[in-house]
């Protein structure tokens, strides 16, 4: 399979691409390795790292990647240009992958090459000073050959070391083939805006857990602060959300694509307008369910549709172990507390038992127990409440035979949301406890 894809891609790349980009005034100078534009036509601030050149293979004549159109297949970017910014125009492979993994698993063509040359590299974006008021932030990435659903990889996405869960949901839903790059547009939730205020942001995409040889590449990354409407680069879509087991519509689910959200009606239907064109990641959430994310390939002015199935969130011991093995941590919603309190309610017993069995099954292990809240109320109160709730869980575990020295309490308040706090569904998902192995 890998040899066939390589042969096809190399053949397809031979003659159809031109290195002269179809420059448009709305996206800066494409040949520049970096961009920082204040008060331009696209946004109050645009910051980019990486030239817009399709990994060095160029575009077909007149091609504009921001319209969501697909390029022909290209060759594999084995050797990045000497002047390419770190993390761009190069093949990268999850840091957990070993030579044994390459023999064990059937990876894609991007999993070839010298291991030292394809380790994940962060992409640095020099943001500088932000506008006085920040209402919305959109990340745009031109991504190539991400195939987590096919290879069972799981990518972690971080900004300055902080994982961004909704970015991870989107990227792990991509199933790119070809190899063909596509534009992906993702909303940065407001609680993560302070990361941008540091002035310099390092974006890292890596799979440090699964050992799956799913190679990938990134042409460029852009940050748009307070983006402006551009009808030439927008599409629309409809979505249907159903319960995965019963196949019944889920009413009241929140559906999000980039900066646009809608709520499903009693038939499980909703519509989203003015969505950035490209490979559109669409997520649905509802209390009691895991977030479901799908993709739809849309060119500007097109209308598309995506069907999403929501699966009930499971928190048995085996479920927690699987989540940790795949993603590095497990989310627990079954730990219930009195309102505004760290006192565990009796209905927390099943979740507490699952956590206890998980830890007891790994003698001598160390764990981080982290509390999270939504954004309702004062930040200081939420921070202290999340810390107290994590400590309360540890206290219960200690009274049931777990060595408290191996348990580390953490509290993040409302600073690490997994969903948008703008609606009740998002706030319900953000009120949680997470457990993860401690280094």
Are 414 and 274 members of one domain? no
Reply yes or no on whether the pLDDT at 178 is more than 90: no
Are 186 and 287 members of one domain? no
CA distance 256 to 157: 19
Stated pTM of the model = 0.91
Are 48 and 159 members of one domain? yes
Phi, psi of 133 (to 5 degrees): -125, 125
- The domain boundary, picked from 207, 227, 247, lies at 227
Task: Specify the pLDDT at position 18.
Answer: 47
Are 347 and 271 members of one domain? no
The domain tally of the chain equals 3
User: Backbone dihedral region of 318: left (phi > 0), alpha (psi from -120 to 50 degrees) or beta?
Assistant: alpha
Name the residue among 281, 270, 269, 319 with its Cα closest to residue 183: 281
pLDDT in tens, 203-237: 999 999 999 999 999 999 999 999 999 999 999 99
Residue carrying the six token digits 């999850």:
94
Reply yes or no on whether the pLDDT at 19 is more than 60: no
Mean pLDDT score, 282-286: 96
Are 114 and 143 members of one domain? yes
CA atoms within 13 A on the CB side of 192: 27
Residue spans of alpha helices (H) in 155-198 = 165-171, 193-196
Are 100 and 83 members of one domain? yes
Are 28 and 153 members of one domain? yes
Reply yes or no on whether the pLDDT at 16 is more than 70: no
pLDDT in tens, 63-93: 999 999 988 888 887 788 889 999 999 999 9
Are 35 and 75 members of one domain? yes
Are 42 and 187 members of one domain? yes
Domain that holds residue 251: 231-310
What is the rounded radius of gyration, in angstroms, for the C-alpha atoms of the chain?
Answer: 22
Are 46 and 161 members of one domain? yes
Are 129 and 215 members of one domain? yes
Are 59 and 207 members of one domain? yes
Task: Specify the pLDDT at position 27.
Answer: 56
Please indicate whether residue 11 or residue 371 has the higher confidence score (pLDDT). 371
Task: Specify the pLDDT at position 14.
Answer: 41
CA distance 78 to 92: 10
- The domain boundary, picked from 183, 205, 227, lies at 227
Please indicate whether residue 369 or residue 23 has the higher confidence score (pLDDT). 369
pLDDT in tens, 337-392: 988 899 999 999 999 999 999 999 999 999 999 999 999 999 999 999 999 999 99
- The domain boundary, picked from 227, 260, 281, lies at 227
């Amino acid at each position: 399979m890998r040899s066939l894809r390589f042969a096809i891609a190399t053949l397809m790349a031979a003659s159809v691409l031109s290195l002269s980009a179809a420059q448009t005034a709305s996206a800066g100078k494409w040949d520049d390795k970096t961009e920082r534009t204040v008060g331009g036509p696209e946004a109050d601030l645009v910051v980019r790292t990486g030239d817009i050149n399709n990994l060095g293979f160029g575009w077909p004549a007149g091609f504009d990647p921001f319209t969501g159109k697909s390029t022909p297949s290209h060759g594999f970017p084995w050797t990045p240009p000497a002047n390419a910014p770190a993390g761009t125009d190069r093949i990268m492979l999850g840091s957990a992958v070993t030579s044994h993994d390459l023999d064990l698993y059937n990876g894609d063509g991007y999993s070839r090459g010298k291991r030292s040359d394809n380790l994940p590299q962060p992409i640095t974006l020099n943001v500088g000073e932000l506008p006085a008021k920040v209402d919305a932030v959109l990340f745009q990435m031109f991504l190539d050959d991400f195939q987590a659903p096919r290879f069972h990889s799981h990518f972690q996405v971080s900004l300055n070391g902080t994982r961004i869960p909704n970015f991870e949901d989107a990227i792990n839903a991509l199933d790119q083939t070809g190899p063909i790059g596509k534009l992906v547009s993702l909303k940065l939730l407001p609680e993560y805006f302070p990361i941008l205020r540091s002035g310099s942001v390092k974006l890292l995409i890596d799979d440090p857990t699964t050992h799956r040889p799913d190679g990938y590449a990134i042409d460029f990354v852009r940050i748009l602060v307070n983006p402006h409407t551009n009808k030439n680069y927008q599409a629309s879509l409809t979505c249907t959300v159903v319960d995965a087991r019963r196949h019944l519509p889920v009413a009241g689910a929140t559906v999000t694509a980039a900066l646009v959200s809608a709520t499903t009606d009693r038939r499980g239907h909703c519509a989203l307008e003015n969505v950035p064109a490209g490979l559109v990641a669409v997520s649905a959430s509802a209390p009691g369910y895991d977030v479901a994310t799908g993709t739809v390939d849309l060119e500007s002015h097109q209308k598309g549709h995506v069907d999403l199935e929501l699966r009930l969130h499971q928190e048995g011991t085996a479920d927690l172990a699987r989540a940790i093995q795949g993603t590095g941590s497990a989310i627990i919603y079954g730990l219930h507390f009195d309102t505004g309190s760290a006192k565990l309610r009796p209905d927390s017993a099943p979740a507490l038992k699952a956590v206890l069995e998980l830890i007891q099954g790994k003698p001598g292990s160390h764990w981080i127990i982290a509390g999270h809240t939504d954004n309702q109320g004062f930040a200081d109160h939420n921070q202290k409440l999340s810390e107290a709730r994590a400590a309360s869980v540890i206290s219960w575990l200690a009274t049931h035979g777990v060595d408290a020295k191996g348990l580390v309490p953490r509290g993040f308040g409302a600073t690490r949301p997994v969903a948008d706090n703008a609606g009740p569904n998002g706030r319900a998902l953000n009120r949680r406890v997470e457990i993860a192995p401690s280094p």
